[in-house]
């Protein structure tokens, strides 16, 4: 059985298999890279922060 766990990335609103948890928030690999490359002073960074705050914890699914 090859069961994979998918997590809901709150930044791009997609289910992804790979990524990291920052506290209780899942961030997929591509969003993580995007965030790392964004300067905290940029408006885009605030957007990511707001996205991560916006949802509850029901972000795991087995497929």
Summarize as ranges the residues that interact with Zn ion (CB under 5 A): 9, 11-12, 28, 31
Nearer Cβ to Zn ion (25/43) = 25
Nearer Cβ to Zn ion (13/41) = 13
Structural element, H or E, at residue 33: helix 29-36
**Could you tell me the smallest distance in angstroms from the CB atom of residue 39 to Zn ion?**
19
Distance of CA 49 to the CA centre of its chain: 10
Nearer Cβ to Zn ion (9/52) = 9
């Amino acid at each position: 059985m090859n069961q994979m766990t998918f997590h809901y990335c709150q930044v791009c609103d997609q289910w992804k298999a790979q990524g990291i948890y920052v506290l209780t928030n899942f961030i997929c690999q591509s969003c993580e890279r995007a965030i790392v490359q964004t300067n905290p002073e940029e408006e885009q960074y605030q957007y990511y922060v707001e996205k991560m705050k916006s949802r509850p914890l029901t972000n795991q699914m087995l497929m």
